[in-house]
Each structure stands twice: as C-alpha cells, then as structure tokens.
Structure 1
Amino acid sequence: MKSTITGGKVVLVGAGSGDPELITVKGMRWLQKADVILTDRLVSPEIIRSFAPAAAKVIYVGKQCRRGHSTPQATINELMVLYAQDGKTVVRLKGGDVSIFSNILDELQALQQNHISYEIVPGVTAALGAAAFAGMPLTARNYATSVRFLTAYKSDVVSETYWKELAQTDDTLVFYMSSETLRDVVKKLTANQIDASKKLAVIEQATTPQQKVYTSSLYAYDEALGGKNFFSPTLVIIGKVVDLHEQFRWVNEKAETTEYFKSEDVSNNENEQLALTA
C-alpha cells in the first residue's frame, strides 16, 4: 500500500449486486467513515441512505453505456486524487465487485502515480448474486466443473477461435454487459454447434425487487426472446445449470417490472467536476 503526504485515503468498495443487504460489513464501515463518496449508477440508493454520514459529499459518477450521461474515467480519477490530497477519506463505491469488469486498473494507477493511500474491499459480483437469486449454482456437481465470466459488449471482443471453444466447453458461461449483443452471442454459439440441451437464462436487475428471469433454448432464442428489450443491468447464464432454475427458484417475481436503478440528476455534479478539473 502506498503512503501519502496528505493523510487522505481512497477505499474502493464493492456494493454488491443490487440488494442493499449484500454489501459487506467492511464496506459498510468504510462508508460510515467517508468524507466523500463517488458512487456508480448500479448501486442501490438504500446503501447511501442507510450508511453514508449526513455530512458526506455524495457524487454520482456512473456510466450508462450509450444510455445518457456518463462520467469520463479521467474525471473520476481526478476527483479521487483531488479529494484524497485534501486529506479526505474517499469511498469509490462500485456496483457488484470492484475487480470484475470495472475500470479499477485505471483508478489504481492514478492513485499509485499520485502516492495516494488506498484499500480494496471486494463485493458480491453480479454473476454470484444473479445465480444465487435465480437458484442456479454455477458449478453444481454433474452440471459444470468450472465457470467463465465473459463480456461481449461489442462484436470483436471474442475471437472466432474462442467462440468455437465456448460452444464446445462444459463450463458455465456468464456474460456481463451483453444484452444488446445477445442475438449475436446466440448466433456465434449455435453456429459452432453448442449442445442443444444447454439453455440460456437472461436475468434482469438481479437481486433487486424487480428481478426477472427468462429462460430459453439457444436454438429457439429468436422465437422466445428475440424481440425482448431487457432492463439494465442484465446478466446472461448459459449452460446445463440453467435447468436447475425451475426446481430451485425461490424469488417470487412480479408480473410486471420497472426500472430499479434510476438515472441520477447529475447537473450539480457536473458543475463541481468542472470546477475541480479546471
């Protein structure tokens, strides 16, 4: 851990995958000590209401993947550094786990380059939360011996050679940030002759009161789910473990769902960011 001449510190905290009770005790305790909280969009607002000190400055720095306002990563890095150099305890609050498909490397490099003290507090990543709340053990005995976390948010992230391997493996496949390219994912796997007995599960807004699980054969995806627009965040699980959902589902889903993670009003944040980065 790097020392700092200012006495400030940045703590990168995983907030869990939606349900506010999934935050760790360690993460909760750091929030209670925070002077400044830089929070993502996919963090339950109940976490801030329950654990943030009344005097803490809360700044929304979420990214929305082509769905509106997004805070540049360079701005997030600069906010962390500037507040820590001012002697503040800064909590960088991220949805899920801090190290799974996040920009933590950029943030760690910025902190290290500026000699800022930091700590990493892990959280329940979306794959684990979604699988648990959908009754799908990711490595259930006789169903899968391992699991792969992937993303296919654009068409060239996964090579053609690797698509062939993914289609043939018995591993459980978990795709993050891939709802907009899901039809392409299905086409790649079926074109490479994935076992027809394997199913696909699409889990909307996992672990929240608005969770919804849709399942389908990969070869019948277009007929079953092809025209569906899913609420963000969406996680996709592919493999034999999807068969366990009907037997072990325990969450009572609502007939109609709404958006759980609302976009925050960031106008005040923008003014502050411009002042800080001027």
Structure 2
Amino acid sequence: MSYQPTKGKVILAAAGPGDPELVTLKTVRFLQQADVVLADRLVSEDIIKAHVKPGAEVIYVGKQCRRGISTPQLTINELLVHHAGRNQLVVRLKGGDTGIFSNILDELETLVAYQIPYEIVPGVTAALGASAYAGIPLTARGYATSVRFLTYYKSDVVTDKEWKELAETNDTLVWYMSSETLDTVVEKLTQHQISADKLLAVAEQATTPLQNIHTCSLYDYERQLKGMVFLSPSLVIIGKVVALHEQFAWIANSYSKEHYFKPLTGRVSTIHDGAAKDNKHVNRA
C-alpha cells in the first residue's frame, strides 16, 4: 500500500474487562465522536450499542484461536491506514487495557510509519477487573509483595529455570490467555514444589453478569479442575492472595455456560444508518 500523510486520527482505546461501566469517560467520548470503530472480540456489545454514534461503522477485527477464526494483524493495520487515509476518526477498541498483551506495538509502528496522528487511552485491564470482582486484592499486605502479569501460550515461553523461580517467588502470578494451557502451568509449578498455601483461581468472564470463579489448591487441581473447559475470557491467578476470595467475594457465581462475548461466528460487522458499505476490508467472520 502507498498512502500519503493524512489528517485522520486513530485512537487506541481500552474497553475494559467486560462490565460496560468500567469503560473510561475518555474512551466513551471518543466512541461518541468516531467515524469508524475497529473492535476486538472481547469488547462488550453493550458498549457498542450504548456509546457508538449513529452513522459510525463498526468492524469486528477479533481473534478466536479455539475456533481457528482470526483477523490477521496485517489486515487490522491496513484498516487503520485505510480509514485514517479518508480523514476519519478511527477508534481501535481493545478489550481490557490497551497495553497489556494487546499487539499494540504492531499498530503503533504502522501509525508512525504512515505519519498518522494517534492517542492511547488506557483502561482497566483484565487482571485488575477480575481480581476486584473476585474479592482478591492482588498485593494484600502479608500475602504478596508484588504481582506479575504473565502468559503461557506455547512451550518455549517459560524456561525450566524460570518455572523454578516462579514457584519460589512470593509474588502473585496472573496468567493471561493461559486457561487452555493450565494443565502444564500447574504441572510445572507443582514439579518445582510450589508452596501449598499458594492457591489457584480461574476467573471466567469476569466482571460480567456471567462471572464464575473457580478456586482450588494447585495440588488438588487434577481432582477438582483438570479437564474443565473454561469460557473465554478466562484469567488465572495463583498465589496466597487467592485464599481471600472466600472471605471477600461480593458477587455470587452465575453457574452459567452462556457467552457474554458472542463468538465471532455470531457477529457481523455492524454498519449504522447508511454508513459506507463498500469497504473491502470489513471482516465478515
């Protein structure tokens, strides 16, 4: 593609972890002004319906690995450049926070390369939303000295030396995008003799009406949770602080297996009130 510098602008904005009321006022303001919204799969449709202005174009550019459905990052980059090149205000709406495991670097590099003005709007990331709605203070005094945000999506991401250090640390460990590899995470930590008072919590669809929190000892995991298929998004918290969930949980589990965030196969790019329908880049997954 060859584009000239533009007067359009891209807003890299956070949608929060699920609860529509956890969206920042700044993100809401930009959604009310946007010509185009490029939304992740883990963006609440309630947010879209409530805040995107009539006449704006909404394009779902999500990734759903379990079903083999994914919008390539190159396509997302092309959409940003294409719409900014038409002098439009584009909101790239990301689930959680804009900077935590979000591919924001690829998009920033594209915007800089094409001299497209941009802003970054932070938000409530999944770790903070899930832990708060589960009643688990991540750095509670006497339980943890700090917290780490991690991911384990393939075998070479964490070395054996690092597994040993993770098992021994007093930090709270928060694992993104790791519910499908949880068997291995638990196996590695228990192999390295992680302390028995460090518990496991899996937060399914946290901060939504369909929230479920599952807790157990890592050494009881095989009997209690192994083999369970957790609904997306699911966040894993490991540490002594998980023990506080039983005392301070303020939301009851829903025990529902409904999807708060619709699978991509059930979504069609939404075009409001006669917005342009000739965009060849629109993801129809």
Common topology (TM > 0.5): yes
Which residue identity is paired with 1:204? E
Residue in structure 2 matched with residue 122 of structure 1 by the alignment: 122
Deviation at 1:185, TM superposition (A): 0.2
1:271, CA displacement in angstroms?
Answer: 8.2
1:108 matched to which residue of 2?
108
Q: Return the alpha-carbon distance in structure 1 between the equivalents of residues 255 and 167 of structure 2.
A: 33
Alignment of structure 1 residues 233-248 onto 2, 5 Å: 233-248=233-248
Paired residue type of 1:133: Y
Q: Cα–Cα, structure 1 residues 68 and 272, in superposed 2: closer, same or farther, change >3 Å?
A: farther
- Give the drift of 1:256: 2.9
Looking at structure 2, the residues matched to 56 and 209 of structure 1 have their Cα atoms a distance apart, in angstroms, of 28
CA contact (8 A) 1:79 1:273 kept: no
Q: Alignment RMSD, CA only? A: 1.8
Separation in structure 1 between the aligned mates of residue 141 and residue 282 of structure 2, nearest angstrom? 55
2:96 corresponds to 1:96: yes
- Asked if the contact 2:75–2:281 (Cα under 8 Å) also holds between the matched residues in 1, the reply is no
Residue 68 of structure 1 deviates from its aligned partner by: 3.7
Q: Structure 1 residue 76 and structure 2 residue 76: aligned?
A: yes
1:178 counterpart = 2:178: yes
Q: Residue in 1 aligned with 2:195?
A: 195
The CA deviation at 1:197 is 1.3
Which residue number corresponds to residue 256 of structure 1? 256
What is the match of residue 142 of structure 2? 142
C-alpha change, 1:117 and 1:21, in structure 2 (3 Å) is same
Query: Hey, what's the Cα distance between the residues in 1 that align with 2:269 and 2:206?
Result: 30
- Which residue identity is paired with 1:124? V
Distance 1:255 1:228 in 2: 13
**Is the 2:36–2:88 Cα contact (8 Å) retained in structure 1?**
yes
Question: How many residues are aligned here?
Answer: 273
Per-residue deviation, 1:274: 4.5
- Cα distance in 2 for residues equivalent to 1:118 and 1:33: 15
Gaps of 5+ in 1: none
Note if contact 1:155-1:181 (Cα within 8 Å) is conserved in structure 2.
no
Distance 2:268 2:144 in 1: 47
Per the TM alignment, residue 69 of structure 1 is displaced from its structure 2 partner at its CA by: 2.1
8 A contact 1:14–1:96 mirrored in 2: yes
- Quick one: percent identity of the two aligned structures? 62
Q: Which amino acid aligns with 2:201?
A: A
AA aligned opposite 1:128: L
Uncovered stretches (5+) of structure 2, i.e. residues with no partner: 271-276
CA distance, structure 2, for counterparts of residue 225 and residue 275 of structure 1? 39
Within-5 A mapping of 1:150-229? 150-229=150-229
